[in-house]
Amino acid sequence: MVRIFFLFSILLFHSLPVWSQDARVLLQEAIQAESAMQEEQAFLKYKGLLQLQPGNLQALCKSSELASKLGHRLKSKAEQLKLYEEAVQYAKRALKVNPASADANFVMAVALGRMALVSSGEEMITAVKDIKKFADKVVMLDPADFRGYHVLGKWYYEISSLGSFKRLAVKVFYGAFPEASFQLAARNYETSLRLNPAFNLNYLELAKVCLKTGQQQRAVELLEMLGRLPFKLADDARVRTEGQQLLRTLR
């Protein structure tokens, strides 16, 4: 029995560096794939890394973020929901590893935002409430993280854009309608843009808010700047196309 235990210990000891090496390789490949805008491949690499290291915070956060992104591009609501639920689960695991991680709180806010798009009733309203909670946590944990302000900008914009029926439903659930305005949306988008001028989506979303507040010239300027920005993310081409279409309607 002692001999068997000894042999098992030796095998385990020698296998640990291999597992560690495989994990490093997968992480590097995932990062490279994401940098090359090959997000489907990056998603698979991060998920593979989680098979080796289930508690890897970076892989959990990236898996959640990519599940939200990839789901948003699908046309089937059922397929979207499947990936959004996966994104929420990865985010939950990330928060369990480190509740004070700005990345973990950010991906949870995003995943819940995607879930809200395909949900209705109390489930949708619950998601809406939690989105702001996690986005506020991102800003609290890292005031220099542009992503938290972007999510808050989107939250204020969407809440301010709700129709009367949904506004009533939110009011009933909250007890009072949450403080929200297009001005608060603009303020958060402006902060996000200042912190990261290279994030294409900020320009498009802020332009939409400016149109709601009667600042058409500012909207035009933002959309023109968007047209000159380099692509950094896989969604940037879609964002520019939408921006150009909106710009044409304003000229």
pLDDT score at 8:
45
Phi-psi region of 121 (alpha: psi -120 to 50; beta: other; left: phi over 0): left
Do 81 and 173 share a domain, yes or no? yes
Angstrom distance (rounded) from CA 246 to CA 136? 30
Is 159 inside any structural domain? yes
Is 249 inside any structural domain? no
Q: What is the DSSP string of 169-188?
A: HHHHHHSSPPP--HHHHHHH
Unique residue bearing structure tokens 């956060």: 61
Do 16 and 131 share a domain, yes or no? no
Do 77 and 131 share a domain, yes or no? yes
| Composition of the chain by helix, strand, coil, percent to 5 | 80, 0, 20
Say if residue 222's pLDDT is above 60.
yes
pLDDT score at 11:
46
Do 148 and 38 share a domain, yes or no? no
Q: Is the dihedral of CA 202, 207, 208, 214 positive or negative?
A: positive
**Cβ distance 139 to 152 under 8 Å?**
yes
Say if residue 21's pLDDT is above 80.
no
| Final residue in a domain of this structure, among 175, 196, 217 | 196
Do 148 and 113 share a domain, yes or no? yes
31 is in which domain, residue-wise?
A: 1-54
pLDDT score at 16:
42
Say if residue 42's pLDDT is above 70.
yes
Is 115 inside any structural domain? yes
Reported as a pLDDT band with limits 50, 70 and 90, residue 246 is very high
| Final residue in a domain of this structure, among 9, 37, 54 | 54
State the total domains in the chain: 2
- How many CA atoms, within 13 angstroms, populate the side-chain half-sphere of residue 179? 2
| Final residue in a domain of this structure, among 167, 196, 225 | 196
- pTM value is 0.87
* CATH number of residue 78's parent domain: 1.25.40.10
